[in-house]
Amino acid sequence: MDADARSSKAARAATARQYQPYLEADWGFKNSWYPALFSFELKDNEIKGITIAGHEIALRRSKGRVYAIRDRCAHRGVRMSLRPTCLTDDTISCWYHGFTYNLSDGRLRTIVASPEDPLIGQLRLRTYPVAERAGIIFLFVGDEEYHPAPPLEADLPIHISDDPKPVAHLLDPEVYVRGIHRLGNSNWRLAVENGFDPGHLLIHWDNQIIAATDRNLGLGARPISDEAIKIIDEPDGPKGMMNMYNTRGYKFFGENREIGIKARGRKPYYARTSVFLPGLLLVEHWPAPAWAQYEWYVPTDDKHHEYWEVLVGHCAGEEARREADYLYEHFFEPLALKDFNDNDLFAREAMQSFYEHGGWNQENLCAFDDAAIVWRKIASRFNRGIQEPPFRRAAR
């Protein structure tokens, strides 16, 4: 190895040490708010099981309120959500032997097959804080002793104020919120880095939405000054970064003459991206002006994530909602959330085998990857803890 190669390798190693906590976060960041289900997906008296960062959780809605409790019976460890059993309004029962737990505090209330058992009142399952806002059920997942949980707003994007026509915020009044979520077969970090990658527009070069709208997204962008990325560090609030595409901090590329490729579309289009802990992307003015796309990359385990794609727009009145429904069903979901984002999903999953087998130490990052490096450092600095694998937690 020559001197230049040794120097380059040492520089990469030194940079990597600055975001080492991020490299260790295979299972995600803990003590954070994550979306679990859309509100309409959990009807009254219904139980559904989900997994976030290795935490198996059963959700039950009772008399309109949502409760979250560990989805493993303390008796023989079966998942209670496999055969939902609700015998009273304020409990959840294991379908196997009838161990019955309070929804509010997880305490063992009774055992159907042994109502005088000395275990009653002694065992409990952990419960999770729940927030239901804007038609989404959020859970605070992490250490049971971490309290009080921060407000949900601390793990959502900031309210954008530097745009002449700011996009709607998820928690604004009179907003339209609709979307999908689905399984991604890659680690959550590959997903979040793909979401704001300034150099990945080639995979969207020939997408249907480009042809339908004649918009020019370019081929890529490279940060060239400190103006390119704005660090977001709100006191007791959101932490993250914003790609400042509307400044001179980025150099845009619409053509590569070496191989004779040009960006499609004639209409210039501005869409700015921000990314926030624990792993949430905001794209302003996408897939249409005045709209915002939220994407959560919720870790399920070290090889999969739940990919949330949610559109938010100002919407006042029934007529406006009907128009928004039409746009969503005939344009936004088929062309943006599916066709366009299917390419992102494909890219993340294509990287998984490489990064699963040491790729974090083998990658060769280029100039536009400065944005990814800044994100890794921010995530390493501001996270509230690295989630341990479930088998390690259980061994304690």
**What's phi and psi for 229, nearest 5 deg?**
-130, 130
Q: What is the mean pLDDT of the chain?
A: 93
Given pLDDT bands bounded at 50, 70 and 90, which one contains residue 245? confident
Mean pLDDT for 13-42 is 93
- Please say whether the beta carbons of 170 and 312 come within 8 A: yes
DSSP assignments along 342-391, one per residue: HHHHHHHHHHHHHHHTTGGGT----GGGHHHHHHHHHHHHH-S-BPPPHH
Domain 153-382 in the same topology as domain 32-130: no
pLDDT in tens, 71-127: 999 999 999 999 999 999 999 999 999 999 999 999 999 999 999 999 999 999 999
pLDDT in tens, 321-377: 999 999 999 999 999 999 999 999 999 999 999 999 999 999 999 999 999 999 999
Q: Where are the domains of the chain?
A: 32-130, 153-382
Domain 153-382, CATH number (from 3.30.70.660, 3.40.190.150, 3.90.380.10, 1.10.3480.10):
3.90.380.10
- Please say whether the beta carbons of 194 and 341 come within 8 A: no
- Please say whether the beta carbons of 108 and 99 come within 8 A: yes
How much is the pLDDT for 394? 57
Mean pLDDT for 154-173 is 91
Element (H, E) at 262: strand 261-262
Tell me the one-letter amino acid at 175: V
CATH code for the structural domain at 32-130: 2.20.25.10
What number of helices (H) and strands (E) belong to the chain?
Answer: 8, 22
- Please say whether the beta carbons of 291 and 272 come within 8 A: no
How much is the pLDDT for 177? 98
Mean pLDDT for 155-180 is 93
Residue 201 has pLDDT above 60, yes or no: yes
